Amino acid sequence: MKSGFNFSLPVSVVVLAISYIYVTTVFVFIDRWFGIMSSPGIMNAVVFTAIALMCVFNYAVAIFRDPGRVPSDYMPDIEDDQSPIHEIKRKGGDLRYCQKCSHYKPPRAHHCRVCKRCVLRMDHHCIWISNCVGHANYKAFFIFVMHAVVACFYSLVLLVGSLTNDPLKDEEQSGGSYRTVYVISGLLLVPLSLALAVLLVWHICLILKNKTTIEYHEGVRAMWLAEKGGHIYKHPYDLGVYENLTMVSPMLILLKCNS
């Protein structure tokens, strides 16, 4: 686990948003549409709670798990033919060395200016988890985003459905207090659902190519330089769609081992 974590403002905002969406979905939308103690109400509450728990668990893992430290004694073995690809600097052709951490950088490792250390297979530094997304916590980050997208769209469906359930009668009984809840929920869920959906699609595209966000931006320049020189650029870590997926999906890893 990562040490020295400070509960930052963005993390507090995410926790409050998750709490608000859960409470309003279960105790307002589901209750108004089905009745919280009815069979459909209990079923929807259980399903949404399970999705919410998966979100919270993977969010916590993404926050507290160390994304991947470079071993202090790491030294690239350039004479080993079986070793991974040796990345070199763009200028000079020397092996990548971090002047700030005073050690060589393994392939796909990058120095984070926020965390002030090198991170293995660094994707990006995410302020919403107050941590880097790297080798050890990328799966948890991706699974969190995936469940968050499902939860947001699920909540939106329940919001719309509950509005069709005799809203005038409910407003008379509650003095219009539900109106504020629906307005806040709509303003929160609609942009959040779209933003998370775009983020999910983005990372699915990266996974299919076995790229990180940093490698994507580096690849754009490398592709331009390759085309300028009359060559075809190929991402060195792209193993094919199925092999790339097995690096993230535990289910595909099990299927691969049994085949």
| Positions marked catalytic | 126
> Residue 107 — φ and ψ, nearest 5°?
-55, 135
With CA atoms as reference, report the closest residue to 214 among 58, 109, 88: 109
Q: Per the structure block, which two tokens stand in for 78? A: 């350039």
Question: Token pair 């103690």 is at which residue?
Answer: 37
Pairing of strands 131-133, 124-126: antiparallel
Q: How many CB atoms are closer than 10 A to CB 34?
A: 20
- The beta strand positions in the chain, using DSSP E, are 97-98, 103-104, 110-112, 117-119, 124-126, 131-133
With CA atoms as reference, report the closest residue to 32 among 140, 119, 158: 158
The H or E element containing residue 190 is helix 177-208
Angle formed by the axes of helices 138-163 and 177-208, to 10°?
A: 140
